[in-house]
């Protein structure tokens, strides 16, 4: 696997090593040993998958401590614009984001550690999205930042009139009104 650096500490874009021939391709989508050597130590405990149609926007979600989650995400069918926003109090990149297109063609994966809000927008007719999480889902710990927060300035590549949002996702706070529960100076993995 090849790791692409981002401008926000902790986020990693991962490009797998593809082996192609006349039959198709093969790649190792996850290796615990290699991930820990090149990204960080993590113990994934839950895998999730969603299917969405064009224009669906999910996020910007996180789980509040002590149920915070790191995620390793990828799109196995179609394409999405995947975004992580730094919500770690005291971080030099607080409020900044990294956006990456994940698709069945580029096979990229995106690692989002604890302390980030995460969301995606479906750019293709249909997208199947998978994520590995290092903590179990806890509904009482759900949190979010508005996916349409203009102050963050994300270009979701979807016209607003074509965006499909859940009712829950339309009620999240703007970043400027958000009181972070994540501290940049505390290792959330201990």
Query: Which residues does the annotation mark as catalytic?
Result: 61, 131
115 class by beta-carbon count within 10 Å (0-12 exposed, 13-18 middle, 19+ buried): buried
Preceding peptide of 60 cis, ω within 30°: yes
Spatial separation of the C-alpha atoms in residues 98 and 87, rounded to whole Å: 12
Question: Which residues are CB-neighbours of 7 under 8 A, at least 6 positions away?
Answer: 93, 96, 98
CB atoms inside a 10 Å sphere around CB 88: 23
CB 122 within 8 A of CB 56: yes
How far is Cα 127 from Cα 110, in angstroms, rounded to an integer? 16
Give the tokens for residue 34: 């290699």
């Amino acid at each position: 696997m090849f790791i692409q650096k981002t401008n926000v500490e902790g986020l990693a874009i991962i490009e797998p090593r593809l082996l192609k021939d006349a039959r198709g391709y093969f790649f190792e989508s996850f290796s615990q040993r290699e991930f820990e050597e090149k990204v960080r130590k993590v113990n994934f405990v839950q895998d999730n998958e969603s299917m969405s149609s064009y224009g669906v926007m999910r996020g910007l979600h996180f789980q509040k401590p002590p149920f915070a989650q790191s995620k390793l995400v990828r799109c196995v069918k179609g394409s999405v614009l995947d975004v992580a926003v730094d919500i770690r109090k005291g971080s030099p990149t607080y409020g900044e984001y990294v956006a990456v297109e994940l698709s069945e063609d580029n096979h990229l994966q995106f690692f989002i550690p604890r302390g980030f809000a995460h969301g995606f927008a479906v750019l293709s007719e249909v997208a199947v999205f998978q994520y590995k999480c290092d903590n179990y889902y806890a509904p009482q710990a759900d949190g979010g930042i508005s996916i349409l927060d203009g102050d963050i300035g994300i270009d979701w590549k979807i016209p607003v009139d074509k965006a499909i949002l859940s009712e829950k996702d339309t009620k999240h706070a703007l970043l400027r009104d958000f009181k972070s529960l994540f501290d940049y100076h505390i290792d959330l993995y201990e």
